[in-house]
Amino acid sequence: MPMPKVLAVCRSEKKGTRKEAGTEGVLRENHGLVEDAHACPEGHRQVSLLAMESIEKMKKLGYAVGPGDFAENLTTEGINLCSLPVSTRLHIGKDIVLEITQIGKECHAGCAIMQETGKCIMPREGIFARVIRGGRVSAGDRIKIVKSEKLKVNSKQ
C-alpha cells in the first residue's frame, strides 16, 4: 500500500453538491476548509475525508467518479480511513492535526451522488473530523496516524 497522503483538496460553495477537486487549501482550527460550504465552528463534522481506494470501488462498478464527487474535503490514498476509531488523530503535512469524530453518515435526500448513481459510499466509508490545529494543506502532503483519547462523539450520527 502506498504511503498515506492527501491526493486532492475539494470544496464547494453549496451543500449537497459535488466538490471541485483542487490541489491546496487552508484548514482553519475549529472551523474546517476555508471557502467550503461545510466549514463551521459548531459541530464535529468540520472536515470530511474519503479514500481514493473507496472511490476506485465505485469506478470498478462502472461509475465515472473521482475526487470531490462524494463531497469529501480531502481525498486520501494509502490509508483505510473507515477502519480508524473515533478520536484517532491525523497529522497532515507539517502543521495540521485532525481528530476523527464520526465514521460514516446517513445520506440526505438531496445527495447528488445518490440521485445520480443510486449508490453512495460516504455512509459507510467516509469519515469526519474536527480541526485541532490548522494550516495549509496540499496534494502530496503525508498523513501520519496518531491514536488519541476517546471522544464522547458516537459514530454514524
Interval 23-59: pLDDT, tens: 999 999 999 999 998 888 877 889 999 999 999 998 9
Checking if the pLDDT of 154 tops 60, the result is no
Report pLDDT digits (tens) over 84-110. 999 999 999 999 999 999 988 665 555
Alpha carbon distance, N-terminus to C-terminus of the chain: 30
- Cβ–Cβ < 8 Å for 95, 135: yes
Give the pLDDT band (50/70/90) at residue 21: very high
Runs of H (alpha helix) within the chain: 52-60, 112-117, 122-125
Q: What is the pLDDT of residue 15?
A: 82
State the Cα–Cα distance between residues 84 and 14, nearest whole angstrom.
28
Checking if the pLDDT of 153 tops 80, the result is no
Checking if the pLDDT of 71 tops 70, the result is yes
By residue count, the chain amounts to 157
Q: What is the pLDDT of residue 74?
A: 98
Third-level CATH fold of 5-146: M1 Pyruvate Kinase; Domain 3 (2.40.33)
Give the pLDDT band (50/70/90) at residue 120: low
- Specify the pTM: 0.86
Summary mean pLDDT of the chain: 86
State the Cα–Cα distance between residues 52 and 67, nearest whole angstrom.
7
Which of 56-60, 76-80, 119-123 shows the lowest per-residue confidence on average (mean pLDDT)? 119-123
